Amino acid sequence: MSNTQKAQKGKLDAVTFVYGVGAAIVLVGAMFKFLGWNYANEMFIIGLTVEAIVFLISAFERKVVEKEYQWEQVFPQLEGQNENSGVDTTGYHSAMQQFSQTLSQLNVGLKEMTSAVNDIKSEMRTNADQSNQMKQSMSEFNSLMTNYNENLKKINDQYNQFLNK
């Protein structure tokens, strides 16, 4: 196995391993206790003792100082010299100016979109009002046509009566 493969798998930490074993013993002891099986109390005692010892040992563990990230490699615009402090911030200012422009463009686009949505809403209200007016007109027209048909039937009936006499 190569060093690269070993690094990818990670390193087994003894304290973490013992802590996991202790937790497993406590959980199995709890299962024994719930089911009323023998040796549940003993398992709890062993598991919790292991947990207490691991907590005691982990209290004395030293933290590894993590490597500080080199953000200028991710954001090259952060590199530069400031005249007062010897740090060049032209890249930073350029990036912030570009960000500000993008934000302004987004703001303008959002205002235009809001205006367009309001226009669409207004047009839809107008169309709904016109649709209601058309419905009312059609209702009146249907009523008139019903009256016309009734009158026409009456005229036809009278005409038929006149012809049959």
Task: Quote the CA–CA distance of 78 and 76 in Å, as a whole number.
Answer: 5
**pLDDT interval class at 18 (50, 70, 90):** confident
Band of the pLDDT at 3, cuts 50, 70, 90?
Answer: low
**Measured CA distances, 91 to 14, 23, 37, 74, 104 (Å):** 47, 52, 70, 13, 20
**Is 76 in a helix, a strand, or coil?**
helix
* 22-68 pLDDT, tens digit each: 888 888 888 888 898 898 888 888 888 888 888 888 888 777 777 78
Q: Tell me the backbone φ, ψ of residue 40, rounded to 5 degrees.
A: -65, -45
Q: The dihedral of CA 142, 146, 152, 153: what is its sign?
A: positive
Give the burial string for 20-59 (b: 16+ CB within 10 Å, else e). eebeebbebbeebeeeeeeebeebbeebeebbeebeeeee
When comparing pLDDT for 148 and 1, which is higher?
A: 148
Sequence length of the chain is 165
The least confident of 40-44, 77-81, 91-95 is: 77-81
What's the confidence (pLDDT) of residue 142?
94
pLDDT of residue 7: 47
Comparing 20-24, 53-57, 74-78, 145-149, the range with the smallest average pLDDT is 74-78
Averaged pLDDT for residues 96-104? 91
Predicted confidence at residue 86, as pLDDT, reads 53
For the whole model, what pTM was predicted? 0.34
DSSP H helices in 36-89: 40-58, 71-74
